[in-house]
Structure 1
């Protein structure tokens, strides 16, 4: 055990030693060490994130210390990493880098068969990453799928079902679910979780000499519209991906992260699925409240923002018969709910999307989303974003005509 690691992470080993079990590469060069350091740095920040309670204000300030093999390189990366963390989490994190000896490891990821993979795709067990697998198959993109074992048993079970289904549909595919860090979670928001997932996907890509990492998420939630103090996450916001790619460039890692669904609605993405994939939608997991372990019900809740968007997206194209059961079903009116907390959450989540539609229709939507030219790889991002948002407005209309809650 390296001195100081336990106090950093509550683990008796460096994070990469647990997270990168059975990685199929020999880590014998200086460049190889950068991936191990990336996983350790991001993991340490994530652990501190989930173990530091947010109080009255959203933003927090805390310090972390991380052993790395190249302190000077990580000092160069400090400005871009700080911007990334602050943008995603709202936190100010002071990082101290300490020198550790280089580690030469062999035979990692040996449980995966070497193949002609063109990309690593994140696999959460959710509907968007599930649809991303269909996109890969339909477009002839052989992919490795990488997920992180969530502590929520229901979500982990769905993640395994989705992984098995995808590998059955595409025998050339392979899946690697990274083990859970098994540290106590105090703060449920876990804003930096996506940064950890991307670090693990980059490690897998590096090990297999793959240059593309895909994180599939519909374009509407990727923009993280802030309405009535409600918002989702900045997991796949264009700036998150841009800043992460800048970090990889500073570290001289030849890997590019992208979101192929950046300009598409969830409804359109789902509607393109084959019937075989649509039937398997019931294997997927969306509920954010269950994921955070703050909700215990028989089914997915049906009233959080991700659940409501899932309902909107399926119902808009008459695909709701493929969906799972919810504790708050599609046809529930607000007055049907007796629990006041659930009733208020249901109303707040639905109203979030009602107001989003209104802001799209009246042209004020760009006051609620924060996008800039440097966040995009394409010059026509504004036009494509507008087209997508107008399509979502029409999707909400179709949903509301069937399932208005008032």
Structure 2
């Protein structure tokens, strides 16, 4: 197996290191920080500026979690599975990460490696070392002693805000119950940023009396153009580790009782393997219950008391939409759920990022609107519309519909098929399995009602 090393450097005085003890086919070195980067790296100047504006001063341990997450994100998106694995999937990645308290992080090394293997399907080895400059502080200093001037209330929650329907519903439900969420979103391109902006504007317009703020985190792994396609990996199975780190960073700075809310419907959270070829990390596990539970254990081990919560883990997307505190607002907000909104930027209705209508998230979204009896105001590129729609299974537009139809047929033939499929997604508490089975069956019923109009050819 091809071994790849990624070395992170923090601060201007960090010389990095030369990995020893193994033979690496490739060794990449990156800078990290808010200073002017002299080479390839991950800059956080804009992020620290926003933290300072919002008067958030996280702990150095929370900042080190962000350093680790940025290193994971960089490795995950720059090391090609095709070129650096024997099976075109499983990579062997070694990370070398500087932190303020190496002993604290070394005690969590095994848990972190298991989390990353669960998320990405790769073998990870994490080596922690002390920061080269022991006096270096990554958290932005602030002289403020109170919350942002003009704000009437300090945030009670941090809520991930992707620009998607689920996160929008999560924000609406929090606001409607009198909570004041700080919305945290990540973007690395123009694919989702416009939807985060427009959906946030919809919330501001509808809740003008609430001091609503959001954190816009632009963190993108540098691309080495000399590597060509060898330096580009689009699967991004580990991306939610970065999302969670950003959310925890803000929650920890706000106070020990502030939770990180991760709004995600249960069907997508479990992400059942629709076919035999989609088992394990071949399907995304970005909000799987076991992953969230392990992240909470990691936070406790690091002395960070904030908890990650998904209040919708036992709800389908249709149920989330139907039970939303403001269904009409959720339907009209112009959110984005598509897994590849920028694949084709032009349609008969003009240019721009739109729902493809054919991928798994698009199918579940359309089924949810059918369940709730609402019209989806978000732009699309056609997708599955109209009775008698015919899709070619030899083309990408028919792949996920065929996978859903396979799952639905297997469920019809074998009553326990969904139970077995749920077990394949990862560890789950025995007492919760019946509720997950019931939720998945309800979610599949929603999809079934939607895809019945489609004929595969």
TM-score interval, normalised by the smaller of the two chains: 0.7 to 0.9
Greater alpha carbon shift after TM alignment, 207-216 vs 121-130: 207-216
Name 2:454's counterpart in structure 1. Answer: 404
What is the alpha-carbon distance in structure 2 between the residues aligned to residue 108 and residue 91 of structure 1?
Answer: 43
What is the alpha-carbon distance in structure 2 between the residues aligned to residue 348 and residue 14 of structure 1?
Answer: 36
What is the alpha-carbon distance in structure 2 between the residues aligned to residue 9 and residue 405 of structure 1?
Answer: 50
What is the alpha-carbon distance in structure 1 between the residues aligned to residue 264 and residue 166 of structure 2?
Answer: 5
Match of 2:142 among 103, 107, 111: 107
Greater alpha carbon shift after TM alignment, 158-167 vs 110-119: 110-119
Greater alpha carbon shift after TM alignment, 320-329 vs 380-389: 320-329
**Pairs within 5 Å for 1:18-29:** 19-24=47-52, 25=55
Equivalent residues of 2:186, 2:219 under 8 A apart:
yes
Tell me whether 1:254 sits opposite 2:305 in the alignment.
yes
Tell me whether 1:160 sits opposite 2:203 in the alignment.
no
Report the CA distance between 1:175 and its aligned residue.
1.1
TM-score normalized by structure 2? 0.78
Match of 1:242 among 293, 302, 305: 293
Equivalent residues of 2:42, 2:70 under 8 A apart:
no
Q: 1:380 to 1:43 in 2, by over 3 A?
A: same
Q: 1:244 to 1:310 in 2, by over 3 A?
A: same
Tell me whether 1:214 sits opposite 2:261 in the alignment.
yes
Equivalent residues of 1:71, 1:99 under 8 A apart:
yes
What is the alpha-carbon distance in structure 1 between the residues aligned to residue 73 and residue 15 of structure 2?
Answer: 17
What is the alpha-carbon distance in structure 2 between the residues aligned to residue 108 and residue 381 of structure 1?
Answer: 46
Equivalent residues of 1:314, 1:323 under 8 A apart:
no
Match of 2:402 among 327, 339, 351: 351
What is the alpha-carbon distance in structure 2 between the residues aligned to residue 317 and residue 26 of structure 1?
Answer: 39
Classify the secondary structure of the residue corresponding to 1:194.
helix
**Pairs within 5 Å for 1:88-237:** 88-100=119-131, 101-104=134-137, 105-107=140-142, 115-151=153-189, 153-170=190-207, 171-181=210-220, 183-184=222-223, 186-209=232-255, 210-228=257-275, 229-230=277-278, 232-237=283-288
Report the CA distance between 1:59 and its aligned residue.
1.3
What is the alpha-carbon distance in structure 1 between the residues aligned to residue 391 and residue 270 of structure 2?
Answer: 32
Tell me whether 1:368 sits opposite 2:407 in the alignment.
no
Report the CA distance between 1:314 and its aligned residue.
1.3
What is the alpha-carbon distance in structure 2 between the residues aligned to residue 108 and residue 245 of structure 1?
Answer: 31
- Give the number of the structure whose alpha-carbon radius of gyration is greater: 2
Report the CA distance between 1:297 and its aligned residue.
4.2
Name 1:51's counterpart in structure 2. Answer: 78
What is the alpha-carbon distance in structure 2 between the residues aligned to residue 182 and residue 348 of structure 1?
Answer: 30
- The size of the alignment, in residue pairs, is 392
What is the alpha-carbon distance in structure 1 between the residues aligned to residue 143 and residue 67 of structure 2?
Answer: 16
Q: 1:76 to 1:15 in 2, by over 3 A?
A: farther
In the TM superposition, what whole-angstrom CA distance separates every residue of 1:27-83 from its partner, at most 9, and x where no partner exists? 5xxx82101111001111110110000124321101121111111111001011001
Q: 1:328 to 1:248 in 2, by over 3 A?
A: same
Classify the secondary structure of the residue corresponding to 2:29.
helix
Report the CA distance between 1:404 and its aligned residue.
2.4
Equivalent residues of 2:390, 2:454 under 8 A apart:
no
What is the alpha-carbon distance in structure 1 between the residues aligned to residue 376 and residue 164 of structure 2?
Answer: 18
Greater alpha carbon shift after TM alignment, 233-242 vs 99-108: 99-108
Report the CA distance between 1:4 and its aligned residue.
4.2
* Structure 1 unmatched runs, 5+: none
What is the alpha-carbon distance in structure 2 between the residues aligned to residue 344 and residue 70 of structure 1?
Answer: 51
Q: 1:147 to 1:108 in 2, by over 3 A?
A: farther
Classify the secondary structure of the residue corresponding to 2:332.
helix
Match of 1:60 among 75, 91, 109: 91
* Structure 2 unmatched runs, 5+: 1-11, 18-27, 224-230, 348-353
Greater alpha carbon shift after TM alignment, 104-113 vs 392-401: 104-113
Classify the secondary structure of the residue corresponding to 1:160.
helix
Equivalent residues of 1:112, 1:174 under 8 A apart:
no
Q: As a proportion of its length, which structure holds more strand?
A: 2
In the TM superposition, what whole-angstrom CA distance separates every residue of 1:286-311 from its partner, at most 9, and x where no partner exists? 11123xx6554443211111111111
* RMSD between superposed Cα atoms in Å: 2.9
Tell me whether 1:35 sits opposite 2:35 in the alignment.
no
Match of 1:9 among 16, 30, 36: 30
Classify the secondary structure of the residue corresponding to 2:185.
strand
TM-score normalized by structure 1? 0.87
